[in-house]
Amino acid sequence: MKYPILQMNNEQELEVKKFNQNEKIHLETINCIICKSANYKILYTNDRYGINQQTVMCNSCGFVYSNPRMSEESLDYFYSSNLYREVYEATNDFEHDFSERIRKVEKNIKINEPNFNKYYPQLFLDFICSLNIDYKTVCEIGCGYGTNLLFFKNIGKEVYGVEPSKTSVKIAIDNQIYIKQGFVNDLENKYDLIVLKHIFEHLYNPLKDLEKIRFHTNKYLFIEVPGNFRRIASIQNAHNFYFTENTLHKIVTKAGFNIISTEHCKETEFIFALYEKTKEKNINFEYSYLNEIKKIKNIYRYDNIRYAITSILKSIGLYSLLLPLRKKILKILNF
Ligand SMILES: [Zn+2]
């Protein structure tokens, strides 16, 4: 199936075209990282930008992942490419004014009961605080400008961070948040809580990285990732994996962590999970592979019906007029 492509400007479209034809990009085939199976069903052949990237579902355990995917070397090239800057950074909220963000964080730092009905920037902190865990030091991997770390700093925690982008590190340091340029492999000390916020789905080898992370955490690990609940998370070639709570827990617990609490935001379908480091490795979290496959097939079907209706309404120029009708049609079709 073709995945619906976002509206982009001419320059972005050109970058995507160049990227698709780039001979420096090498793809590699991988087996499912949960069950090792090489047997999969193709879900989509492109991502939301039109990049030729295949997304598949494992036929044995239901895990959704990119396959074949960019080699480790090609991934490095991709993250430093014009395409990444032009397409990804322009459509993310990367360019928001940082001092404005700091002001907001400082002004609004009051811990509330987490509300998972709607997404808000402090939701992760409200979630962690609601669990009454004891921690002093926090390290965020892939911390960007350090905005998330500010929340922790403002409730009295000692904060640290690693971030691959030199530009982000410089901005953070200019704003008195001392983070280091680097990534998982550059961790040096041990921290009470390690934070991975919208990073885990990008990792090339999550199990290997979790091993390193486990070594550097005294107690806890917090992960926030896009989830598949009523729909499959937005397809983009920077994401190597598309998790449900089952597949996320399966991978993280395998690396020597216990689940303390897990929730998801109804609006964005992001998963919030707090784990505790265990003494022994290989804690076995089990889920029904058959039910997982059934669930993914259902939401895949639902997504495609939704995309087809949207595309028909758009092609006849009646999209905004008939949008309420689309909801009714979906309801009649029992989704
Ligand atoms: Zn599998």
List pLDDT tens digits, range 301-322: 999 998 988 888 788 777 676 6
Claim to verify: residue 156 and residue 58 sit in the same structural domain: no
CA dihedral 152, 156, 161, 167 (to 10 degrees): 80
Residues 95-111, mean pLDDT to the nearest whole number: 65
Residues 91-103, mean pLDDT to the nearest whole number: 54
Ligand 1 centroid from CA 21, angstroms: 30
In a domain, 283, yes or no: no
Ligand 1 centroid from CA 273, angstroms: 21
Which pLDDT score is estimated for 334?
59
Residues 246-257, mean pLDDT to the nearest whole number: 96
pTM of the model: 0.91
Claim to verify: residue 28 and residue 166 sit in the same structural domain: no
Report residue 328's pLDDT band, with 50, 70 and 90 as the boundaries: confident
Residues 43-66, mean pLDDT to the nearest whole number: 97
Ligand 1 centroid from CA 40, angstroms: 8
Each residue's pLDDT tens digit, 34-47: 999 999 999 999 99
Q: How far apart are CA 76 and CA 323, in angstroms?
A: 41
Q: How far apart are CA 272 and CA 274, in angstroms?
A: 7
User: Domain boundary residue among 277, 302, 320?
Assistant: 277
% of the chain surpassing 70 pLDDT: 89
In a domain, 231, yes or no: yes
Ligand 1 centroid from CA 293, angstroms: 10
Q: Which residues have C-beta under 5 Å from ligand 1, the single-atom ion?
A: 32, 34-35, 37, 58, 60-61, 63
Query: Greater confidence, 320 or 210?
Result: 210
Report residue 77's pLDDT band, with 50, 70 and 90 as the boundaries: confident
Claim to verify: residue 105 and residue 86 sit in the same structural domain: no
State the chain's mean pLDDT as an integer.
Answer: 90
Which pLDDT score is estimated for 96?
47
In a domain, 284, yes or no: no
Q: Is 331 exposed, middle or buried (0-12, 13-18, 19+ CB in 10 A)?
A: exposed
Each residue's pLDDT tens digit, 211-251: 999 999 999 999 999 999 999 999 999 999 999 999 999 99
In a domain, 47, yes or no: yes
Ligand 1 centroid from CA 278, angstroms: 25
Claim to verify: residue 187 and residue 249 sit in the same structural domain: yes
Claim to verify: residue 72 and residue 124 sit in the same structural domain: no
User: Domain boundary residue among 91, 125, 154?
Assistant: 91
Ligand 1 centroid from CA 48, angstroms: 24
Claim to verify: residue 25 and residue 155 sit in the same structural domain: no
How many domains, in total, are found in the chain?
Answer: 3
Strand, helix or coil for residue 259: strand
In a domain, 285, yes or no: no
Claim to verify: residue 60 and residue 188 sit in the same structural domain: no
Ligand 1 centroid from CA 38, angstroms: 8
Claim to verify: residue 121 and residue 261 sit in the same structural domain: yes
* Amino acid letter, 171: I
Claim to verify: residue 309 and residue 269 sit in the same structural domain: no
Report residue 8's pLDDT band, with 50, 70 and 90 as the boundaries: confident
Which pLDDT score is estimated for 98?
57
Examine the pLDDT at 100 and tell me if it is beyond 80: no
Ligand 1 centroid from CA 159, angstroms: 37
Rounded to 5°, the CA angle 42-238-27 comes to 60
Claim to verify: residue 111 and residue 22 sit in the same structural domain: no
Q: Are 134 and 113 in contact (CB under 8 A)?
A: no
Segments forming the whole domain that contains residue 47: 10-91
Claim to verify: residue 108 and residue 153 sit in the same structural domain: yes
Which pLDDT score is estimated for 114?
97
Ligand 1 centroid from CA 65, angstroms: 10
User: Domain boundary residue among 91, 116, 145?
Assistant: 91
Q: How far apart are CA 198 and CA 317, in angstroms?
A: 36
In a domain, 4, yes or no: no
Claim to verify: residue 109 and residue 72 sit in the same structural domain: no
Ligand 1 centroid from CA 31, angstroms: 8
Q: How many CB atoms lie within 10 A of CB 166?
A: 9
224 has which bridge partners?
A: 197, 272
